[in-house]
Chains A and B, each alone.
Chain A
Amino acid sequence: MRYKSKLVTLLVAATALTAALSACGSASSNGNSANGGAPNDASPSVSAGSSSEAPSSSAPSGEKATISFIHWRGEDAKAFDAIIGKFERENPNITVETQVFPSDQYQSTAQAKLADGSVGDVFASFPGAQFASIAKAGLYADLSGAAFLSNFLPSLIEAGQRDGKQLAVPYQLVYNIPIYNADIFAKYGLEPPKDWNGFLAAAEKLKSEGLVPIAFPGADIGPGQFMNPMVMNNAPDPDIFAKLEAGETKLTDEWWVKTLSQFKELNDKGYFQKDALGTKDQGAGALFAQGKAAILATGSYQLAQNKKNNPELNQKLLAPITVSEDQAVYEGIHTTTFMLGVNAKSKHPEEAKKFIEFLSRKDIAGEYANATGQNVTVKDVEYTSDELKTVAEWTDKKTRFQPRFTITNAEIQKAVTSSIQAVLGGNSPEQAAREAQAIVDQQIGK
């Protein structure tokens, strides 16, 4: 008997444990969806602004409205807190609740969260693939004709347009072109070159002075960054990668083979540091910050980090012009991101637009930029740091939206950047292009 009762106890305990474990599993998944659905449940998120109000169903004037703002910039939370505080003082009837999600998670789940309209009255989105899929799902309210659009530089909000409508406004601005050490350039009497021969000559001069002309993080971000200015004038068509994905052009065509040959030329002539393919972001950044390399082939987002590593640095931006001067169409590459949109299913679209209008004022945008070190797409903003000013000079130049971001298929993007690594690893441009095109063909089902 005693044996039996022990057995029963053990069994009950085991079953209870199993039940508890499985309950755990389902409880957490419920928790997630509940969280996605309830704007006032701020448990796992960073809540900014004032305390949550009871949600008001509709918001005729005079009644209080709570709008939800979702984005991925956890590092900007403090700056946004201050700005939202001002907004709420100006609009006592509107409360803004912020939820921040990590950017990798944001890429994949934002759309699902937006779908029922309960969160993200105002939401940020990435250009390219995410913008396309949210637009396709019809989740952007049309902002065309809104008065605040005139606060932005027109060329910098094009990434938020689709079929003639302004669906979102990009807020942040980055230039994906190399940074150069202006003191080194001045010392050797160099100017940013205006054509390919000039670029090679400048690199040769720097090399002969014992410097690394270009620090290139070939192991990770380098190919994806530097390909943009390298290809911009070889294929001036802004839809070139859309055409690639539609099967209307190939990587084996002249524009890409030429780009690969020029990468190979830079590598073979020793203008990249030795073993560029084994160098990661930090390694290349260190070479530049220490003054051992004259050019860092990444983008403007690294200016602040370089300055932190070496406060003496005097940095500017330049782009390689891969053609002759008269054939050059573009001077550089920009990426406009953190695209603010209003959820088409929002219950408070007017309040949501009011918030975007507030963010688009030049003093507010300036406050954001100077607090976070990010340049913005808003006109006439006064920047305080040298780095932000350096970037701001470029808003007058003829730049083009980052071509790599126009590739919507991640495997194709990888095939393209891998072909650059392949030529640096010793393959011929033709062979590397052929192998990459074979992968593209499989992806587009040709």
Chain B
Amino acid sequence: MKPGKRLILFYLPGTVLYLALFVYPTLTGLYYSITDWDGLSPSYRYVGADNYARLAEDIVFRKSFANNLKFMLAVVLVQTAVSLALALQLTKKNKRTVALRALFFVPTVLSSVSVGFIWTFIYDPSLGALNGLLEKLGLGALTQNWLGDMDLAIFSVAAVQAWAHIGQMIVLYVAGLQAIPRELLEAARLDGGTRGQVFRKVTWPLLAPAAAIVVSYTTIQSFKAFDLVFTMTGGGPAYSTEILSTFIYGAAFTNGTFGFASAASVVFLALISLITYLQFRLLRADRVSY
């Protein structure tokens, strides 16, 4: 055997795992999406594209999609901006910044179900810590029905999603910031650049690759969210926090319409693929060189 051919064998285990654990379930899902299987009965019928046609009309699916977009935009904006602001303060290597970085990272380590329950209690309108704190600070006017207000609930959950992942993003930004050659920054300062100018003209362009990773990671991760919504609101009140993943879960496991849920999953997969593709295109266009 030639060494080249022998190397092909190395692909085998990975390929087998990938085929068995990813490709096969995906194809099965695709297959069930053209049936009316209820997830239980041994028999089912082929319904062709019926599930997809129903999905296109489905009111709750549309609401879920709109909520998904709202959730994604809110998380991307908050998570990217806040973690950048914090990372800029935490780039220097000393005990204080390392300790703070570790502190900000803690929520990432917690299981998202615990995070959901913790924040459900914090958000409780009458017993919760958040409204209690606002009252104590004399900001009683700012207290909200965080998870019960139909216009606000999705953003309250988005804030928790951002809170839980900011630490991770800080690490990425800090790595990006530390990779910027110090000479460049010093030169810019010596030339009389203000802090704002140095950031805009030097730091930010050189940080673009890290920022691109943060944005793309955050987008995909927030689009796929499930656990926080599931534990905190269950999609309510009145569908105001229903997102695609909870919609699919409900269709499959509560309502026993597996075929329909499979169709929704296929659409979900297509949407995520599209977003990922678009982002990779943008990333490539955005790549900087010194």
Contact = CB atoms under 8 A, between A and B. Distances in A.
A382 B54 CA distance: 54
Interface string B59-86: 1100000000000000000000000000
Contacts of A276: 148
Interface stretch (B93-101, B168-176, B189-197, B232-240): B232-240
A64 interface: no
A11 B255 CA distance: 45
B57 interface: yes
A152 to B, nearest CB: 30
Contact of A411 (B233, B253, B255): B255
A421 interface: yes
B127 A108 contact: no
B238 A422 contact: yes
B123 A14 contact: no
Contacts of B273: none
Interface residues of B, number: 40
A274 interface: yes
Interface in B1-33: 6, 9-10, 12-13, 16-17, 20
Interface in B170-221: none
A11 B125 contact: no
Q: Which of B39, B127, B250 has the most CB of A within 10 A?
A: B127
Q: Which of B39, B234, B236, B250 has the most CB of A within 10 A?
A: B236
Interface string A389-427: 000000000000000000001110010001101101111
A418 B236 contact: yes
Nearest to B236: A421
A275 interface: yes
A442 B58 contact: yes
A219 B6 CA distance: 60
B12 A218 contact: no
Interface in B218-236: 233-234, 236
Interface residues of A, number: 43
B126 A424 contact: no
Contact of B59 (A7, A18, A21, A439): A439
B145 interface: yes
Contacts, number: 105
B59 A219 contact: no
B149 interface: yes
B126 A287 contact: yes
A442 B57 contact: yes
Interface string B141-169: 00001111110000000000000000000
Nearest 5 CB-CB pairings of A with B: A278-B148, A277-B148, A275-B125, A275-B145, A421-B237
A190 interface: no
B262 interface: no
Nearest to A287: B126
A424 to B, nearest CB: 7
Given A277-B237, A414-B250, A14 B57 contact: no
Given A11-B10, A277-B237, A422-B238, 20 more contacts: A18-B16, A22-B20, A112-B40, A219-B147, A219-B148, A219-B233, A274-B125, A275-B125, A276-B148, A278-B125, A278-B145, A278-B146, A280-B124, A286-B127, A410-B256, A418-B237, A425-B148, A425-B150, A425-B237, A432-B238
B254 interface: yes
A15 interface: yes
B253 A108 contact: yes
Interface string A52-72: 000000000000000000000
Q: Which of B12, B20, B239 has the most CB of A within 10 A?
A: B239
A172 interface: no
A410 B255 contact: yes
Nearest to A443: B255
Interface in B243-290: 250-251, 253-256
A273 interface: yes
A18 B9 CA distance: 14
A220 B233 CA distance: 8
9 contacts: A11-B10, A218-B237, A219-B237, A287-B126, A410-B254, A411-B255, A422-B150, A422-B237, A439-B59
B127 A283 contact: yes
Contacts of A21: 17
A17 B12 CA distance: 12
